[in-house]
Structure 1
Amino acid sequence: MTGMIEKMKSWVSLLPPIGYTNILEIIILAVLVYEILLWIKNTRAWELLKGLLVIAAFITAAAILHLTTIMWLIERISTAAIIATVVIFQPELRKALEQLGSRNFIANLIPDDGIDDASVTTINEIIRATFEMAKKKTGALIVIQQNQPLKEIEETGIRINGIVSSALLINIFEKNTPLHDGAVTIVGDKVTAATCYLPLSDTDISKDFGTRHRAALGMSETSDAVTIVVSEETGRVSVAANGKLCRAQDAEALRSMLPTREQKEMDKNTRFRIFRNTRKEGKA
């Protein structure tokens, strides 16, 4: 046993010394790798990556088996392959840069108490309006701000700055009215703008979904906003968030997808209590 411990000590002594900067670099690299893998998984790059892995496996097998002719061809086309990869991944790379430019990572790490969140009353008004429009098959796009501001989206539309109510939302999206085309943005308890243009997603989606759904999905891919879609063809209600599109079967399902100010405060208080109890246990 003593001999084993001595061997382990000798092995550890061969390792280079690890300082604070090394630990910091490891943490930064781990976060970067995690974000890149998460980005790849949530975009079409995941399918393309699997194709690249197959090609990499083929190249490795050719190298192991000493297939000289194939390796010679691979070396000659490697530069062109790199350029082709950049061209193929161009939409995903553009989307990643847009997200990097629009996100405030410090704000994500440190919660901002000044951010306006929708109250329970506002959420109830939104849900009521959504399903009233769904019954009449009135198409609608409702973007609800979360942590990231929607100023750029608001600037593409017409300023409203009205208190959220089901009547206001229904009137905005009524067919053949000046404001029905486009999306409305909701910040806190106010409808800030209407007829806003949203970025369209390049993701392959079902043919059952139309331009509104593609716009809602594009909004969820470039921001943390939650977007409600009412289909003009079927009256179905869907919610786009975090790059995903989900169907809301009824009011309760929709309510569970829409975070409120009160819910966030409860979650914050719960996390604070857990942190405080953990500190007390540590001191004890």
Structure 2
Amino acid sequence: MFAGQDFDLLNIIRIVVDISLVAYVIYKAITIIRGTRAVQLVKGIAVILAVWFISSFFGLRTLQWIMGNSVTYGLLAIIIIFQPELRRALEQLGRGRLFGRASYVEEDETLKTIDAIMKSTKYMAKRRIGALISIERETGMNDYIETGISMDANITSELLINTFIPNTPLHDGAVVMRENKIAAAACYLPLSENPFISKELGTRHRAALGVSEVTDALTLAVSEETGSISITKNGDLHRDVDEETLRKMLEKDLMAENNSSSIWQWGGKKDG
């Protein structure tokens, strides 16, 4: 009787360990793709699987056949689509970072970041120094970070100002921020193809609007022609934002990430 109980206990332990390992692998996979554009792709796959299940349950054979073939041939597509994320996971595994602790953004660090952005943009706007600053949020910006010069530096107003001083090695391009650090400078951002953008706007503003159309990044652009500050998010461009409104926007959006998501209220002059 006791031998049988020991066998059952071993089975229970084995099952618990098995489930725990699978759960941990899934958790780490989520942390790897979190902050990348792959999140949207995963959501799309989840929708396909849900439709497949529903079509099977209700006997919708044509739809079931389409979804079944999508899943069958989708494996190769997933490998191709998720190639950057797979490479990132293998690199982390090779560096021994797969089991590292997740990083957490502190509220006081976010306030320091906001202060640095405010001080630097005010300085550059007054002197008409062109600047482009993109702040990563939920959607990752690894593709754009890799186009620039890696920095991984603490954010200070002095560093931001020096980065965008004309005729310096890093002034041409965008600074991308991640978790209250400057991830990279001189980054290339995608240009918006919106035909309704004002002809007055140059490449810097088109890049700010373009990256907001494909990510949820918050992007600031300082015009070197007028010294005005513009800000973009979710495909919206707001021009001539004053200092008070800019701070409210940054605090509303960036501080909310430390607590819970909130509705973003815009101010300033909307364009595009």
Give the TM bin, normalised by the shorter chain. Answer: 0.5 to 0.7
- The offset of 1:166, in angstroms, is 0.4
Q: CA RMSD in A?
A: 2.8
Per-residue deviation, residues 118-157 of structure 1 (Å, max 9, x unmatched): 6011011111101110000000000000001111101000
- % identical aligned pairs: 45
> Matched residues in 2 for 1:257 and 1:176: separation?
31
Structure 2 letter corresponding to 1:161 = D
- The offset of 1:261, in angstroms, is 5.2
Q: Say yes or no: does 1:217 pair with 2:227.
A: no
What residue is the counterpart of 2:152 in the other structure?
Answer: 161
Q: Say yes or no: does 1:174 pair with 2:191.
A: no
- The offset of 1:257, in angstroms, is 2.1
- The offset of 1:262, in angstroms, is 3.8
Deviating runs (4+, > 4 A) in structure 1? 113-118
Q: Say yes or no: does 1:207 pair with 2:199.
A: yes
What residue is the counterpart of 1:192 in the other structure?
Answer: 183
> Matched residues in 2 for 1:265 and 1:189: separation?
12
> Matched residues in 1 for 2:112 and 2:253: separation?
9
Alignment of 1:72-221 (within 5 A): 116=105, 119-204=110-195, 205-221=197-213
Q: TM-score, normalised by structure 2?
A: 0.55
More helix by share: 1
Preserved contact between residue 115 and residue 147 of structure 1 (Cα < 8 Å):
no
Per-residue deviation, residues 252-280 of structure 1 (Å, max 9, x unmatched): 21122224654333446x9xxxxxxxxxx
Match of 1:230 among 218, 222, 234: 222
Structure with higher Rg: it is 1
Runs of at least 5 residues in structure 2 that lack an aligned partner in the other structure: 1-52, 59-80, 86-101, 263-272
- The offset of 1:175, in angstroms, is 0.7
Runs of at least 5 residues in structure 1 that lack an aligned partner in the other structure: 1-19, 26-99, 105-112, 271-284
> Matched residues in 1 for 2:54 and 2:148: separation?
48
Per-residue deviation, residues 174-202 of structure 1 (Å, max 9, x unmatched): 01111100000001111110100000110
Instruction: Specify the SS of the correspondent of 2:112.
Output: helix
> Matched residues in 2 for 1:257 and 1:248: separation?
13
Preserved contact between residue 127 and residue 255 of structure 1 (Cα < 8 Å):
yes
